[in-house]
Chains A and B, each alone.
Chain A
Amino acid sequence: MAWVMLLGLILLPQISSAQQGREISGTVRDLADKSGMPGVNVQAKTSGTNAVTDNDGKYTIKVVSSEVLTFSYVGYVTQEIVLAQQDVLNIDLKFNSEALDEVVVVGYGTQRRASVTGAVSAISSEKLLQTSATTTADALVGKMQGLTSRSTNSYEGDARPGSPAVLQIRNMGDPLFIIDGIPQSSGQFNNLNVNDIENISILKDASASVYGFRAANGVVLVTTKRGRNQTPQVNINGYYGVQNLTRFPFETPANAYLFHLTRAESQQNRGLPVTMSAAELEKWRLGTEPGYQSFNQYDYVVNNPNAAQYSANASVSGGSEKTSYYFSAGHVNQDFVLKGHNFNRTNLQSNIQTTIAKGLTIGTQLSYRIENRDNVAIPGREDPIWNAFLGANSSWPMDNPYANSNPNYINGNVRYLTRLPSTYTKEIAGWQKDVWNSATGNFFAEYVFPFRLKAKATYSHSYKQNKFDRQRYSYDAYRYVPDSDTYEVYGGFNSPLRNRNRREIQERFVQMQVSYDNAFKDHYLSAVMAYERSDSDDTYTTVQSVPPINDNNLINFVDVNDVTTTWATNARASVIGKINYDYKGRYLLELLGRYDGSYLYAPQKRWGLFPGVSAGWRISEEAFMRDKLSFLSDLKLRASWGQAGREEGVSPWGYLGGATYGSGEYMLDGNVVVGARPRGLPVTNLSWVTSTSKNLGIDLSLFENKITAQFDIFERKLSGLPASRYDVLLPSEVGYNLPAENLESEANRGVEGIITYTGKKGDFTYSVGVNATLSRRKILDRYKPRFGNSWDEYRNATANRWSGVNFGYQVIGQFQSMQEIENYTINNDGQGNTTLLPGDLIYKDVNGDGLINDLDQRPIGYGLYDNPILGFGLTSSFGYKNISLQVDLAGGTMYSFNQNLEMRFPFQGGHNSPEWMLKDRWHRADVYDNNSEWIPGKYPAIRENSSHSNYRNSDYWRTNVTYLRVRRIEVGYAIPKKWTEKARMKAARLYVSGTNLFTFDNLSHIELDPELAMESGLRYPSQKVINVGFNLTF
């Protein structure tokens, strides 16, 4: 269909022939020293013609009447000038990319920074490139206000190679990603080649709502690079680096002696006889006799220190008057600190556009990428990395990974063979390959009418394919027979598995857009109307077999034991309108509206209208300000209000009755019959959740833009969250529930700001920016909540409260002696204090009833699986002649980490525990003498009993995290021109950088990376990376 439309545009009557052409000429100078600037790109927006300034900064360009000219040069503020009747136009360009006349990409167009009325943050390619991150999200961390991040805020995620940080705009949830005008998945966003990105804008308030559905959580707009009318420019960038884990709580597991000693104490502390004899324990302490050695299993798991990371990228861009192009190829490779695991990605990008007739431009952005994730197929949970980390503890320090320490023989006489680190190789455990192939093509045609009306049609098609293959091998393990000096098979892994999963996703997107802009004396008006629609389908097939041999990768029918297929689709459509008006550049107004339809809702509830409005007042443009407060370069007040729809709590076809086929399987008369289950009551009253955003902002520039600042205060409210109307109480005996309706609401409220100071003293240039975002979610209305009693309400009510508040006990100390326990009148453990020992935690009896129970729990922390409520960052750069230094910091606070499982219980699951947990504990001086004195320590006396009162949820195990991380330090050296010219290079730069070198935080006592969320700590932490790299321009 889209092709028809494209054709329609191309075949439009050729109407531009009668236009009058004229020529404009002038000089472009550097504002600072008034010298002519060569190589500045001059573009006529309407005619689509291009020119470049010569060595003296002079240019000539053919234009039509009422033309807009843009002047752009890297590192300088792009200027847009509406032509009057002149023939000569001289321009002074200002250095500094932060300034007011910078062009910012906003919804459905661009705007000068000075006329933006919404809350928009932007970052340009130069700043993005200063990173060793392999995902786009990681490259953004700490650099913009309004953006919070964490390596992961979920149970599953972590910071492994190829895994992006979790970005949220104002903590509102997953944002919508728009790449070159097309909505794309977060995977597509994160796996962009950072070198290909021209700029990124973040729309945070009503300005996002122009993107309608799924934009309720904010929008990340990415524009990829275009060519210019210039001679071909070739860029080659590359780096090589080494990575190590920042911190890992299980880096030093307890050694065999500590293991046995504390296990014996555990028996002693529970009143059981100590099973290990003193003589035996002494042998472990000495560790000299054969069979009494200790092994640090972590060293066998994390066995690839200084793991390599490298990237290489080449691009060429250029163009002529009519055609511009940008081609690039990039490859990034990142090894894990575990041998046999690797992530790598190749990106290809081709952006071309050409003017084929007067006013008619067509173009494409084509991208292709291959993502490879190679892993050892370690059995256990689905995730091999998790399995590997489990090995650090699950294998006991007494377990020799190899029989008789001979690396040819896996030791079968161990506690837990499949978690034995020596099996973690592709040769033994098997292999796993996860490959994404993704091709996206955007095709557009744009026609510019001579009277400033523009029509544009875009079609985009994405094809994504995921191939997942895994083969788990069966293998034998061995035992050494000393008498005959031989090895005999002793156990092994006998559950081989072959998986082949295929996913294919097709995404289609069509957009038609008409826009108009013009200036009438002091009035400037622009308007956009668009219609767009998209759909996708996603098919997934899995095949599983039990291969009889390890050596064959193919699947034979006789071995197949599982096949599944799933399918999903979606379809959406919208009509969008937007009008911008500005009077004298002083009073700014934007109106926008959007009419969205989604396939998720019943036909009569399908469409929603979402309007928005924003206004700005540039006070600094008023005469009374300009005269009196001349140090104010710019002062603008902004206010916005807007709505967007959000699809929530609705499942596809919930509005249909009938039955769901495939609800389960059951065997009848020897045949498996696929089940069909009648559906519940159709959900016909549910529609869009409405997100309403309010924002007040101020933009400030002082002292010739030396200081720029932006502050915003905002609220994003979700109303109409789905809930059942339960004041109509349907007897449970009817057997169905009332369908959900849009009844509840909640809000995110917060403030954010950024201040940047830029300066220059002789050859010394510097720029320092700090930014921070505070945003917290509050539940507003719950539909008529009911509580059994006031405690129930105190504990479980959510209405009008911050969300993510965690309850637990408050620890006020530790018992110091048995006597103190005997004299203690409060029942601290619920069992008359009979289970207590010195060192045990004392809970606060909040309600004073002499008994510690649920009623004594109080709020003790923030959300565990959230981004920081307060996130902050600092970006700075310093330059002196050819030397540059960049320092970026990022941090966060107001979120919690809860130690649990391996991080809380000694010998969790019967496994070993980290040394820090076992070493510093309360214990008796002599493990064989119950009357020996107590030696104080940090942790309570060891018991293998996770239901002991010590291990209740309390603030002892929960840390309210604060951290500040030196995200990146980079020292660069630009090779002087006289040398580069000899090599026919335009520029060359070398640098050394360090990522995550230092972290200041309050989790060092458990050796945890503060950006992880998983309570057991068994996740791949952030890496410390040291890179050397180069940037060459030809």
Chain B
Amino acid sequence: MKYLQMKSIYKGILTFLLVTSGFSCDKNWLEREPENLLTDDQLWTNPQLILSTIADYYSRLPRHTDFEGPYGCGSAGGYCGWKDYASYDEAMWSGVSNFDYEFRNSLIDYPFNRWSLWNYDLIRDINLAIDNIGTVVSPKMTEKIKAQFIAELRFLRAFNYFELVKRMGGVPIITEQMIYNFEGDPSYLQKTRNSEEEVYLFIESELNAILNDLGNTDSKTRANRNTALALKSRAMLYAGSLAKYNNLMAAPIILPKGEVGIPVARAAYFYESSLAASDAIINSGAYQLYETNPERGQNFYEAFTAKTGNREVIQAIDYSVSQGRRHLFTLENIPRSLRKDVENVSGSSALSPSLNLVESFEYLDGSNGALKGVGTGSNTAAGQTNWIFYNSPNEIFANKDARLAGTIIFPGSSFGGQPLQMQAGVYVWNATTNKYDRFEGGLNTKYTDGGVLTGGDGPLHNENYVSATGFYLRKYLDSSPAAATSAVRSDIWWVQFRLGEIYLNAGEAAFELGKANAVTYINRVRERAGFGANSLKTLTTDRIRNERKVELAFEDHRVWDLRRWRIAHEVWDGTTTNPDANIYALFPYRIVRPGHPNHGKYVFDKFRSSRNTRPRHFRDGNYYSQISQTVINNNPRITRNPFH
């Protein structure tokens, strides 16, 4: 009896242990399948997944002032987004006054690490893709498909090297994966910087090599033959002007091994290369300047906002509201009275275009664009002597380059069919002092005479979410009503290459090469702006530079152009007396002087914006950005840039 009992007990324990051990031996319990990871085998054999990888690479290409870019941005960072337009001379910041944003108005100088970039993670991923695609064996991966993918990857790599070289000067050219052997001594992976010239030559040879493999004909988002030529046109123009203008400096910025500084003798070669690329695009007949709307200002605006039938755009970063890829640019920059939504810290009116830019747009007769009859804003009789009494707020902008109206919203304008009310205050005649007294109020206030004191769109001197300069930005602003809401947002695309730039590139290169036809390229662009055919007879450097400033405003060219022309340190010299280095505002006022002919007319005051507290200051050490200490620690063979 007892024996039996014990036996059944052991049976019980045995059963329990068996069940238990059945669980314990289940080794796969901790082996979980991820739902969002692809194995190398899956990835490189499937063209559709490779396209996903390429999409990822496109999204990671460095861009300085596009529609995205992280919150705040800080003082460094190669990739910063449109908010940084408020750091130069095209605009200032009029959005939220948090220091994270507002610092752009009081930037003491540009830090040496501004524009710094060392994104070899992307280079590594591109090289990795090229290696894998080159060696993969799979029925879906035909030689043609492989060649096309590799060409597109080489384009992306060339684009990235251009972004590196234009910020940092020469960088190590890495074209293959560098594999660490985990043996504790990675010194065999330490490369030196290639010379600035070598990097530009590398970009040129890469672009030349892939022209016939790229495919993607007619694509406006993926690289095709003409995109490669457009990149070449821009990059070679940079190289040419660097070679020429760096050496015209009192003390050229060079390093002994050419890491920065291109010999002056190479200028012609690069200009020729750029011109050839530009000509190839222009002569291909694939593109033409956007000239659809007979109203020239609106036409210029549509050149950026119209996606269908737009044969000017060569490549853009595209968005689609219906597919969920959209951006907040319109919400954050919509004029104050049109704002629909106040989401997070963003509001409206973030970028206030500067009077500096507005005055760069010439009059259609070719005369200087400085506005006529504006006061100094000093509220004294002397400050009012220059006034012209205008009948309407927009009369002062009459007969200007049509691109002004396409780029900027100025007093008296409307947007999306909605008229804006921009008036800073009133000037009331004071018979005792024989001058006008200035009164300003809050938004939407009425003066005692029942008329407007301050309009619903400002401008105000020092208030968030309302223009501080008297202007709003029109370029890229989406006129569809929901675009200014955080729920819907906007899908205006970001134009990266367009024919207008190519004309200007060609004109500049041809001019530098002394070619007689240089002026015809520039005149083509001016013709669209309303200047008539052959408006310029001769070219000067200043003409070309001003043309780029107004045609390409807010297209991520200004700061790079000033750098390559080596005039940034003069234009933005950090002095309060230099009109180019300070951001100016133009405030409209209504005249109150009942019974007098000037009653109800408008006058304008020009002054340095009170919210822009510091002049722009570009130092010699900004021509090449700082290579971070970490990069140098990691590889002591990397030489520092000058002045750092």
User: B-side interface residues toward A, CB under 8 Å?
Assistant: 1, 5, 8-9, 11-13, 15-16, 19-20, 23-24, 29-32, 34-40, 42-43, 49, 51-56, 58-60, 96-99, 102-103, 106, 118, 120-125, 127-129, 172, 174, 178, 180, 184-186, 189-191, 216, 219, 221-222, 317-325, 340-344, 379, 440, 443-444, 462-464, 481-482, 485-488, 610, 629-631, 633-635
Stretch with Cβ within 8 A of B (4 or more), from A50-58, A416-424, A988-996: A416-424
Known: A495-B486, A544-B487, A673-B52. A731 touches B186 (CB 8 A): yes
**Cβ contact of A659, chosen from B38, B186, B634, cutoff 8 A:** B38
Closest to A600 in B: B30
Is A561 close to B, CB under 8 A? yes
Is A140 close to B, CB under 8 A? no
Report yes or no: B16 in contact with A675, Cβ–Cβ below 8 A: no
Is A1008 close to B, CB under 8 A? no
With a CB–CB cut-off of 8 A, which chain A residues contact B320?
667, 670, 672
Known: A561-B321, A668-B221, A729-B186. A661 touches B52 (CB 8 A): yes
Report yes or no: B635 in contact with A947, Cβ–Cβ below 8 A: no
Main DSSP-derived SS at the A contact region: mixed
Return B636 CB to nearest CB of chain A, in Å. Answer: 9
Interface pairs (23), CB distance under 8 Å = A8-B15, A380-B343, A380-B344, A495-B487, A497-B487, A561-B322, A573-B30, A652-B34, A665-B324, A667-B318, A668-B221, A668-B222, A672-B320, A673-B51, A673-B52, A728-B184, A729-B635, A730-B634, A731-B190, A733-B178, A909-B98, A910-B463, A947-B106
Known: A1-B23, A561-B488. A658 touches B43 (CB 8 A): yes
Report yes or no: A732 in contact with B634, Cβ–Cβ below 8 A: yes
Return A1033 CB to nearest CB of chain B, in Å. Answer: 42
With a CB–CB cut-off of 8 A, which chain A residues contact B36?
567, 660-662
Report yes or no: B341 in contact with A666, Cβ–Cβ below 8 A: no
Closest to B8 in A: A13
**Cβ contact of A495, chosen from B5, B52, B340, cutoff 8 A:** B340
**Cβ contact of A732, chosen from B29, B488, B631, cutoff 8 A:** B631
5 tightest A-B contacts by CB?
Answer: A735-B124, A675-B56, A495-B485, A495-B341, A731-B635
**Cβ contact of B40, chosen from A13, A510, A657, A670, cutoff 8 A:** A657
Report yes or no: A573 in contact with B325, Cβ–Cβ below 8 A: no
Return B540 CB to nearest CB of chain A, in Å. Answer: 41
Return B421 CB to nearest CB of chain A, in Å. Answer: 13
Report yes or no: A730 in contact with B189, Cβ–Cβ below 8 A: yes
Report yes or no: B24 in contact with A575, Cβ–Cβ below 8 A: yes
Report yes or no: A413 in contact with B344, Cβ–Cβ below 8 A: no
Report yes or no: A732 in contact with B630, Cβ–Cβ below 8 A: yes
Known: A659-B43, A666-B58, A676-B38. A909 touches B464 (CB 8 A): yes
Q: Contact flags (1/0) for A717-737 with B, using CB distance below 8 Å?
A: 000000000001111111110
Is A493 close to B, CB under 8 A? yes
Closest to B183 in A: A728
Closest to B49 in A: A676
Report yes or no: A669 in contact with B125, Cβ–Cβ below 8 A: no
Report yes or no: B42 in contact with A12, Cβ–Cβ below 8 A: no
**How far apart sit A660 and B49, CA to CA, in the bound complex (Å)?**
11
Return A720 CB to nearest CB of chain B, in Å. Answer: 20
Return B447 CB to nearest CB of chain A, in Å. Answer: 13
**How far apart sit A663 and B321, CA to CA, in the bound complex (Å)?**
19
Question: Within residues 1 to 33 of chain A, which ones have a CB less than 8 A from any CB in chain B?
Answer: 1, 4-5, 8-9, 11-13, 15, 18
Report yes or no: B125 in contact with A677, Cβ–Cβ below 8 A: yes
With a CB–CB cut-off of 8 A, which chain A residues contact B485?
494-495, 546
Return B126 CB to nearest CB of chain A, in Å. Answer: 9
**How far apart sit A673 and B317, CA to CA, in the bound complex (Å)?**
13
Closest to B627 in A: A732
With a CB–CB cut-off of 8 A, which chain A residues contact B19?
4-5, 8, 512
Report the interface size class on chain A.
35 or more
Report yes or no: B124 in contact with A13, Cβ–Cβ below 8 A: no
**Cβ contact of A531, chosen from B23, B174, B185, B440, cutoff 8 A:** B23
Closest to A901 in B: B98
With a CB–CB cut-off of 8 A, which chain A residues contact B174?
733, 735
Is A987 close to B, CB under 8 A? no
Report yes or no: B30 in contact with A571, Cβ–Cβ below 8 A: yes
Report yes or no: B32 in contact with A571, Cβ–Cβ below 8 A: yes
**Cβ contact of A417, chosen from B325, B342, B486, B631, cutoff 8 A:** B342
Known: A659-B43, A732-B120, A735-B120. A678 touches B189 (CB 8 A): no
Report yes or no: A734 in contact with B120, Cβ–Cβ below 8 A: yes
With a CB–CB cut-off of 8 A, which chain B residues contact A666?
55-56, 58-59, 317, 325
Report yes or no: B323 in contact with A671, Cβ–Cβ below 8 A: yes
Report yes or no: B55 in contact with A674, Cβ–Cβ below 8 A: yes
With a CB–CB cut-off of 8 A, which chain B residues contact A667?
221, 317-320, 323, 325
**Cβ contact of B29, chosen from A535, A575, A671, cutoff 8 A:** A535
**How far apart sit A533 and B343, CA to CA, in the bound complex (Å)?**
45
Return A699 CB to nearest CB of chain B, in Å. Answer: 37
Is A275 close to B, CB under 8 A? yes
**How far apart sit A910 and B464, CA to CA, in the bound complex (Å)?**
7
Closest to B488 in A: A546
With a CB–CB cut-off of 8 A, which chain B residues contact A571?
29-30, 32
Closest to B489 in A: A561
Q: Contact flags (1/0) for A152-168 with B, using CB distance below 8 Å?
A: 00000000000000000
Known: A658-B38, A731-B634. A672 touches B23 (CB 8 A): no
Report yes or no: B323 in contact with A678, Cβ–Cβ below 8 A: no
Report yes or no: B24 in contact with A735, Cβ–Cβ below 8 A: no
Is A400 close to B, CB under 8 A? no
**How far apart sit A512 and B8, CA to CA, in the bound complex (Å)?**
20
With a CB–CB cut-off of 8 A, which chain B residues contact A493?
340-341
Report yes or no: A531 in contact with B20, Cβ–Cβ below 8 A: yes
Report yes or no: B222 in contact with A669, Cβ–Cβ below 8 A: yes
Question: Within residues 633 to 672 of chain A, which ones have a CB less than 8 A from any CB in chain B?
Answer: 652-653, 656-672
Report yes or no: B97 in contact with A909, Cβ–Cβ below 8 A: yes
**How far apart sit A455 and B16, CA to CA, in the bound complex (Å)?**
8
Closest to B341 in A: A495
**How far apart sit A786 and B633, CA to CA, in the bound complex (Å)?**
11
Report yes or no: B128 in contact with A419, Cβ–Cβ below 8 A: no
Return A449 CB to nearest CB of chain B, in Å. Answer: 6
Known: A380-B342, A660-B37. A18 touches B97 (CB 8 A): no
Report yes or no: B24 in contact with A531, Cβ–Cβ below 8 A: yes
Question: Within residues 507 to 541 of chain A, which ones have a CB less than 8 A from any CB in chain B?
Answer: 510, 512, 514, 531, 533, 535
**Cβ contact of B343, chosen from A5, A379, A447, cutoff 8 A:** A379
With a CB–CB cut-off of 8 A, which chain B residues contact A910?
97, 463-464
Report yes or no: B318 in contact with A599, Cβ–Cβ below 8 A: no
With a CB–CB cut-off of 8 A, which chain B residues contact A381?
344
Q: Which of A1, A664, A666, A947 has the most CB of B within 10 A?
A: A666
With a CB–CB cut-off of 8 A, which chain B residues contact A656?
34, 37, 39
Closest to A381 in B: B344
**How far apart sit A495 and B482, CA to CA, in the bound complex (Å)?**
7
Report yes or no: B342 in contact with A678, Cβ–Cβ below 8 A: no
Report yes or no: B59 in contact with A734, Cβ–Cβ below 8 A: no
Report yes or no: A272 in contact with B1, Cβ–Cβ below 8 A: no
Closest to A671 in B: B323
Is A496 close to B, CB under 8 A? yes
Return A552 CB to nearest CB of chain B, in Å. Answer: 15
**How far apart sit A415 and B36, CA to CA, in the bound complex (Å)?**
46
Report yes or no: A597 in contact with B30, Cβ–Cβ below 8 A: yes
Return B448 CB to nearest CB of chain A, in Å. Answer: 11
Report yes or no: B99 in contact with A947, Cβ–Cβ below 8 A: yes
Report yes or no: B9 in contact with A15, Cβ–Cβ below 8 A: yes
With a CB–CB cut-off of 8 A, which chain A residues contact B344?
380-381
With a CB–CB cut-off of 8 A, which chain B residues contact A603?
31
Is A856 close to B, CB under 8 A? no
Return A1024 CB to nearest CB of chain B, in Å. Answer: 32
With a CB–CB cut-off of 8 A, which chain B residues contact A706?
none
Please give 5 more A-B residue pairs, beta carbons under 8 A apart, in addition to A603-B31, A666-B58, A677-B56: A561-B324, A656-B34, A656-B39, A659-B40, A667-B320
Is A946 close to B, CB under 8 A? yes
Report yes or no: B56 in contact with A664, Cβ–Cβ below 8 A: yes
Report yes or no: B191 in contact with A733, Cβ–Cβ below 8 A: yes
